[in-house]
Structures are given as C-alpha cells and as structure tokens.
Amino acid sequence: MSLEIHHLSKTYGRQQAVDDISFTLREGEIVGFLGPNGAGKSTTMKITTGYIPPTAGKVLVHGMDVVHHRQQVKRVIGYLPEHNPLYTDMYVHEYLHFSGRLYGMKGASLGQRVKNMVELCGLEKEQNKKIESLSKGYRQRVGLAQALLHDPPVLILDEPTTGLDPNQIVEIRNLIKEVSHKKTVIFSSHIMQEVQALCDRVVVIHQGKIVADDQLTRLLQNGQSVQTIQIEWDRPVELNALERLEGVVSVTEVRPGCYTCVSQTGVDIRPALMQFSALQGLALLSLKQEENTLEGVFKQLTNSQS
Amino acid sequence: MWVIFKKEFAGYLYSLIAYMVIGVFLTAMGLLMWVFPGTSILDYGFADMSTLFNTGPYVLLFLIPGITMRSFAEEKRMGTMELLLTKPLTDWQIVLGKFGAALALVMVALAPTLIYYYSVYQLGSPTGNVDTAGVMGSYLGLLFLSMIFCSAGILASSISINQIVAFMMAAFLCFLLYVGFDSLSGLPMATSWSLLIKQLGILYHYESLSRGLIDSRDVIYFLSVTWILLMITKTIIGSRQW
C-alpha cells in the first residue's frame, strides 16, 4: 500500500474538520478526492504531507508514519499546496534549482532534472522569467514542476486547477495525466468533470466524513437506479393521472404539457408512459432520460447528510 | 541549512535591501565619525574609534529589524511557509539559515569600517598609536550584539504576519535588551538588584568587551541570549504541530 489513512480525525478548537476517515491507495493508483469547500480535503492533505499533525488516527506513506518519520515521508511526497504558493521574486529555473537542492540534488544531475521538468511542463519559453510575471496557468505549471522535481512516488495535489481558464484546465489536466504513470496520485477538487477526466476512483468527503469511496463507473451506476424522465406532449394532462401510473413516485410540471417524472428505485417507467400516451391519444413530442452525471451523484451524496 | 542561507542572502541582494542597509549604515557611520562636528574624530583629537562603537549599535537597532522583518512574516503571508515546511528540512535548518543570512549581511555592512581603523591608525601620533586590542574587542562586541539583534528580529518576524509589526517589535526588543536593562537598573527601588539587572542587558557586556578584554562570561552571555531567542523562534515555528 502506497498511502494508508487509518481513522484520521482533526479538530481545530471546537470545529471537527476531519472525522474518523479511512482509505488506502494502491501503488500507481490515481484517486480524486472530492467534496464541497470546507469538507476537510485540504486538512487531510496537509496531515498527509506532515505539515500539521492529526488529532487522532494515523497516516502511513510507504509504511512510514507521517508523525514519527516526518523527514523521510517528506522525501517521497511531491506536494502542490492549495493556492500554489511560490517565491514570486525568483526566476523559474532559479526556483526549481532551489527546490532541488532542498532534496539534496546538485550539480549536473540537478541541471538535467530541471531541464527535463521544464520540458515536461512546457516552461521552455518562461524559464528565464520571474515567477511574478507569469500567468496563473504557467504558475501552476511551475508548482507542478516543483512537486515533480525529485521524482516522488506519491503525488499530492490540492485543487490543482482552481482559478484557471478552461484551456489552462485542460492543459494542466493533461499534464497530470502524463506524469501520473507509475505514481500514486491523490488530488482534490470540487469540479466533477475533472475527476471524470482523470481518475478511476473517487473518494467523496462531506463535513469531514467519507460519504462514498468507489470506482467511478460503479458510483455512476448506483446513482442511476432512480430514473428521471422529462416527457412532453402536445397538450396538458392531469398530474393525478400520471402519478397513478405504476412505478412513478413523483411528477412535477415544468410547463403545461411538459412533465418531469421520477421513478421508484430500479423500475423503468418508460413503457408505462408510452402506453399512457397511446391510451389518451396524446401526441408524444419528446421523451428524455436525464443523464445521471457525477454531478448528480455528488449532489445526492452531499445533500443527503446535511 | 546552507540552501536556505543562500536563498535568503540572494533574496536580500535582489530586493535591494542589502544595498539599502550597507549604504545607510556606512553613510551614517561615515558622517558621524568624520564629518559631524560633535562626534568627529578629527575634532576630538584622540586616535580612537569610540564613535563607531557607541553610535553603531543605535544605527543597527533600526537597520537589523529592517533586515529581518520579512524573514518569516513574508513567508507566512505568501503561503510559502507551507511549501518550506513540507520540504525535507528541519525547523532548526530553516531558522538557522535565515539567521545566518541576516547576520552575514550585517557583517558585510560592518567590514568596510575596518578602513576607518586603518585611517585612525595612520592619523595617530606617532603613527599606530591606537588601542588595537580595544578596537578588536569592540568589533567582537559589535558582532555579538548583531547576533542578538538578528535573532530578536527573526523572533519578532516569526510571531507576526505583518512586516511593520515585526519591525516595531524587533526594534523594541533590541532596545530593551541593549539599554533597557541598563536604564532600569538605575531605578531607586532596584538598588539592591541593580548589578544583576545591569548584567541582563547587552550594554554591560558590550562595554566590558570594548576594553579589549575578552571575558568568557561575556562571550557566554551573548551566545546564550542568541540561542534562547532562536530557540523560542524554532518553538514558534514548530507550534503548528501542537
């Protein structure tokens, strides 16, 4: 196991930021850590990097406890903190050399490594600029280059794409995908598409507790057990008549003639709706099954407990 | 520690703080020693450098907090503290690196004043009639004093996130340590404790060194005050772990 979190809790004063969470990451796994703002994502990551200690529970990175073997753990982790803090008065290559030397790298091998990272992160043109003059997207690349410099087997990225424009988001996402081979990656986000684009497994956290930890595909399937169908006819019908149909739980009127029906768990209500329109002699204009996206699942998971 | 030292020292050079400090210090000392009528050696007529060693600490009292105020305050404000603390560095390495860089900058500012020693040496009648031992002792005292000021400045910077607050706290702390205890010992109610209070301050030990006698008690005083201040700083940096 590359990263193990056992019954981790953290309290700030009276506030419970993280409440007894446990999960493990296999080597080479890439996991999305999802949750609304203030759910405890950053706190969990800060504990994992050894920046702050847990109140209870423990975190093992490559079998080493982050509290007792803090210095060793820090060597195997590459960390991109939230808001990506950087020494803005340094030049890009100067900053990367500085970071490398902190890990004991030096001389030609450090120079080569910095060169590789600059190429990998697409910073060739920017490497002789000061960090303060870079755009946010390029700063994020510098942050990633810094996290990857010592070739860490574990990568912790705290909201790597917040505040970027759509093009930059895609670029950073591709970059993460490219570097994540053979690395254990955990990255936090509150953007669903990102998780869908990058990883196979998601851990959803809400109010300090884990509400879901599963393969992405399975999470989506589970969410689909309830059907939501929008149907439109050429003229209005009575809501009561629709509600009486077998398997229909609730009906809401979008506008006269257009209704949204929600099914019972595991029941397909489309045949019943077709039959109904035939019996009533209605002309069917459209029938649309609302796709159950991760967004919906996320909403479902995080709303249910609040 | 060496990496942090180099980064900090380079930071002083890039941000022009270094040139400001060196320029201001040397201008002030040059004027005081050779131009201003009240304190000028040329008017005074004696070949000694007491002007440098008596007024130098007051200039440093303001300059050193100016050097050190950003060391931790800036890192905290920019969030780079988190970056630094998640690198494989111990808290001691960070504190000592920053302390060393500040002290090195002060030493660079002090070094050119050795020319003054040469001038005074040449002006002496007969040539070379100057209390060399006293001057060397005073230089050592100034160096030790800078160590305490630098560690006090770094401590103030580690407490505050605001550089101005850090500057004022550091200047006050330096002032208190330098002359505060000395002045307090003069209070009428402190007569029976007066020597002890006096010995807590820097001035007592600084003056003793400037006589050219390097007493191990004074050396131990300077080193231990520096160590205590740095220890407190290290504890504050580590307090996130509580």
Q: What is the pTM of this model?
A: 0.84
- How far from chain centre, in Å, is Cα A87? 27
- Could you give the CA distance from residue A242 to residue A232 in angstroms, rounded to a whole number? 12
Q: How many CA atoms lie within 13 A of A165 on its CB side?
A: 5
Q: From the CA of A53, how many Å to the nearest CA of chain B? A: 6
Look up tokens 């305490």; give the residue: B148
Q: Which of A53, A81, A103 sits opposite B83 (nearest CB)?
A: A81
- Could you give the CA distance from residue B103 to residue B149 in angstroms, rounded to a whole number? 9
What is the 3-class SS of chain B, one letter each residue?
Answer: CHHHHHHHHHHHHHCCHHHHHHHHHHHHHHHHHHHCCCCCHHHHCCCCCHHHHHHHHHHHHHHHHHHHCHHHHHHHHHCHHHHHHCCCCCHHHHHHHHHHHHHHHHHHHHHHHHHHHHHHHHHCCCCCCCCHHHHHHHHHHHHHHHHHHHHHHHHHHHHCCCHHHHHHHHHHHHHHHHHHHHHHCCCHHHHHHHHHHHHHCHHHHHHHHHCCCCCHHHHHHHHHHHHHHHHHHHHHHHHHHC
Size of interface A-B (CB pairs under 8 A): 53
Categorize the per-residue pLDDT at B177 as very low, low, confident or very high, splitting at 50, 70 and 90. Answer: very high
Evaluate whether A188 touches A40 at the Cβ level (below 8 Å): no
Q: From the CA of A3, how many Å to the nearest CA of chain B? A: 17
Residue B140 has which token pair?
């050592």
Residue B57 has pLDDT above 80, yes or no: yes
Q: What percent of chain A has pLDDT over 70?
A: 93
User: What is the rounded average pLDDT for all residues in chain A?
Assistant: 85
Q: Do B87 and A88 touch (CB under 8 A)?
A: no
pLDDT (0 to 100) of residue B188: 83
Three-point CA angle B21, B26, B31, nearest 5°: 135
Categorize the per-residue pLDDT at A306 as very low, low, confident or very high, splitting at 50, 70 and 90. Answer: very low
Q: Do B240 and A74 touch (CB under 8 A)?
A: no
Q: Do A74 and B7 touch (CB under 8 A)?
A: no
Going by C-alpha positions, the residue among B187, B158, B197 that lies closest to residue B68 is: B158
Residue A303 has pLDDT above 70, yes or no: no
Largest CA distance in chain B: 65
Chain B neighbors of A146, CB-CB under 8 A: 83
Q: For B66-84, how does the pLDDT look when each residue is reduced to its tens digit (9 = 90+)?
A: 999 999 999 999 989 999 9
Q: For B117-172, how does the pLDDT look when each residue is reduced to its tens digit (9 = 90+)?
A: 998 888 888 887 888 888 999 999 999 999 999 999 999 999 999 999 999 999 99
Q: From the CA of B91, how many Å to the nearest CA of chain A? A: 11
- How far from chain centre, in Å, is Cα A285? 38
pLDDT (0 to 100) of residue B94: 94
Distances (CA, A) of B210 to B54, B125, B132, B138, B178: 10, 22, 11, 4, 15
- Could you give the CA distance from residue B202 to residue B141 in angstroms, rounded to a whole number? 9
B239 touches A: beta carbon within 8 Å? no
DSSP-assigned beta bridge partners for residue A213:
A203
Q: From the CA of A87, how many Å to the nearest CA of chain B? A: 7
Categorize the per-residue pLDDT at A222 as very low, low, confident or very high, splitting at 50, 70 and 90. Answer: low
B83 touches A: beta carbon within 8 Å? yes
Look up tokens 């910073």; give the residue: A123
Chain A neighbors of B86, CB-CB under 8 A: 49-51, 74, 77, 79, 81
Chain B neighbors of A75, CB-CB under 8 A: 88
- Residue partners of B64: CB distance under 8 A and separation at least 6: B102, B106, B146, B149, B150, B153, B170, B174
Look up tokens 């936090």; give the residue: A188
Which of the residues B9, B78, B87 would you substitute to probe the A interface, choosing the one with the greatest number of A C-beta atoms within 10 Å? B87
Evaluate whether A290 touches A24 at the Cβ level (below 8 Å): no
Structural element, H or E, at residue A94: helix A92-102
- How far from chain centre, in Å, is Cα A28? 17
Q: Do B87 and A99 touch (CB under 8 A)?
A: yes
Categorize the per-residue pLDDT at B191 as very low, low, confident or very high, splitting at 50, 70 and 90. Answer: confident
Q: Do B80 and A87 touch (CB under 8 A)?
A: yes
More confident residue, A303 or B116: B116
Residue B30 buriedness (CB in 10 A; 0-12 / 13-18 / 19+): middle
pLDDT (0 to 100) of residue B17: 85
B87 touches A: beta carbon within 8 Å? yes
Instruction: Give the three-state DSSP class for A100.
Output: helix
Residue B189 has pLDDT above 60, yes or no: yes
Q: From the CA of A98, how many Å to the nearest CA of chain B? A: 7
Three-point CA angle A91, A92, A95, nearest 5°: 80
Chain A neighbors of B12, CB-CB under 8 A: none
User: What is the rounded average pLDDT for all residues in chain B?
Assistant: 90
- Could you give the CA distance from residue B36 to residue A167 in angstroms, rounded to a whole number? 64
Residue A305 has which token pair?
């407990």
pLDDT (0 to 100) of residue A126: 87
Q: How many CA atoms lie within 13 A of A239 on its CB side?
A: 12
Q: Do B3 and A101 touch (CB under 8 A)?
A: yes
Q: From the CA of B235, how many Å to the nearest CA of chain A? A: 14
Chain B neighbors of A85, CB-CB under 8 A: 78-83
- How far from chain centre, in Å, is Cα A47? 18
pLDDT (0 to 100) of residue A121: 87
Residue A304 has pLDDT above 60, yes or no: no
Q: For A154-211, how does the pLDDT look when each residue is reduced to its tens digit (9 = 90+)?
A: 999 998 887 788 888 888 888 888 888 888 999 888 777 778 778 888 888 888 888 8
- Phi, psi (rounded to 5 degrees) for B211: -80, -5
Evaluate whether A92 touches A123 at the Cβ level (below 8 Å): yes
pLDDT (0 to 100) of residue B140: 93
Q: How many CB atoms lie within 10 A of CB A284?
A: 14
Q: For A232-259, how does the pLDDT look when each residue is reduced to its tens digit (9 = 90+)?
A: 888 888 888 888 888 887 788 888 888 8
- Could you give the CA distance from residue B204 to residue B201 in angstroms, rounded to a whole number? 6
Q: From the CA of B112, how many Å to the nearest CA of chain A? A: 29
Q: Which of B3, B14, B81 sits opposite A98 (nearest CB)?
A: B3
Residue of B nearest to A74 (CA): B88
Categorize the per-residue pLDDT at A86 as very low, low, confident or very high, splitting at 50, 70 and 90. Answer: very high
ipTM associated with this complex: 0.85
